[in-house]
Chains A and B, each alone.
Chain A
């Protein structure tokens, strides 16, 4: 069971994405559309998360509004391809009915000639201004300046010290910087329970030999990693591929506390501040100071 499911009061049987219709594109600026057709029916009592919400909407008496006239998963995908993608970013894409029937799976915007970034702007900046307030490349951003937080959101690109950093008093207590990189065997937390991939890339804390020898840690030792927010015990991997003074706990591992509340799953979030990053309001999972010892 996932850690989130353990905390849930009610668990509903959702099906996988192979058992319902879906469509996605390569992020906001991608050049591809991926169709994810339903390959098999949902097994047993499972339903798509959309279908679960539709059933709830009936109970709440908002079925018509929620489904916008009774659309099912496939209807929404068709609507999205025909009414959104084809009318905005992908005008040359085939209509849904044709696209799905072709079984191509992926539509890629054709590229006919080499592309040069900002080509028109560089040739004629007055006629082709950029999508910025001044229409120019902005070294000083007035928009960011107006945010009024120059310490954390500077209007010019420059180095700013993290909240947790190796240069202030706190670093005497927690001298190592910790980061949580995206790890090969998982997509965030997906596949943490996949033994084939996790066996190839087990969850380890990566430590430079210089930091490990100072603390008497050998490769494969169980180590305790902690700061004022939490603690975990994890197996170590001594490697020169991580910089001295920095440790790495790959993000996405499932939280697995023991009876003392110490995480044995290697979930980097227990060491991370709950403070949002100033601009993106994201999780500051690379802004962590910790210490580490042999467990």
Chain B
């Protein structure tokens, strides 16, 4: 059985959020209801050397939806078994069983499931099921003007892009075995030592 995943190129991502808006457009999500979101990271600092500033800060962006993990904590924590793994390896929500309690969001280290205020039930990325069954890419992937996203069989992506599964500030991949491959930005290596933090919590 194939397992699908996303490739996220944080070197080429410009943080424009076209993927986020394409996802909202395709899935008719209200403003602020994000199945895909972009985390802005910034770090480093300015040095004032006698009125001359040097030592430029750095920034990079991580585009993130549901990672359709192989060991999904959201599925384990769901009290009604609404959260489940489908036959294509995707993590999905049975809307008839979901009671909107939000335990899945608490358990998910990526904060992927979101409450749909219109239905009172949880909602999340479904890999654009209707598109991928027609052999099309999910909307976010095709919308990216930097071609920084890719989608497909995780084994194929692994062969193409390597096997980096995490980047600052994402959780250790051991926790849930996320099906994402990341091309790490060079400054992500400095993130932990250079005082990096999430710069756009307000928008997440």
Contact = CB atoms under 8 A, between A and B. Distances in A.
Q: Do A and B come from one complex?
A: yes
Interface of A: 184-185, 195-202, 208, 210, 220, 237, 239-241, 243-244
B74 interface: no
A175 to B, nearest CB: 14
Contacts of B15: 184
A78 B150 CA distance: 40
A200 B20 contact: yes
30 contacts: A184-B15, A184-B16, A184-B17, A195-B31, A196-B21, A196-B25, A196-B31, A197-B17, A197-B21, A198-B31, A199-B31, A199-B32, A199-B203, A200-B20, A200-B38, A201-B17, A201-B203, A208-B46, A210-B46, A240-B42, A240-B43, A240-B44, A240-B45, A240-B57, A241-B42, A241-B57, A243-B46, A243-B53, A244-B46, A244-B48
A244 B52 CA distance: 10
A240 B43 CA distance: 7
B24 interface: yes
Interface string B41-75: 01111101000010001010000000000000000
The interface residues of chain B, by DSSP majority, are classed as mixed
Contacts of B96: none
B19 to A, nearest CB: 10
Nearest to A244: B46
A185 B43 CA distance: 24
Given A240-B43, A241-B42, A244-B48, 12 more contacts: A184-B16, A185-B17, A195-B31, A196-B21, A196-B25, A200-B17, A200-B20, A220-B202, A240-B44, A240-B45, A240-B46, A243-B53
Interface of B: 15-17, 20-21, 24-25, 31-32, 38, 42-46, 48, 53, 57, 59, 199, 202-203
A237 B24 CA distance: 25
B57 to A, nearest CB: 4
A244 B55 CA distance: 12
Contact of A241 (B21, B25, B53, B199): B199
A103 B48 CA distance: 56
Contacts of A195: 31
A237 B32 CA distance: 18
Nearest to A238: B199
A199 B38 CA distance: 12
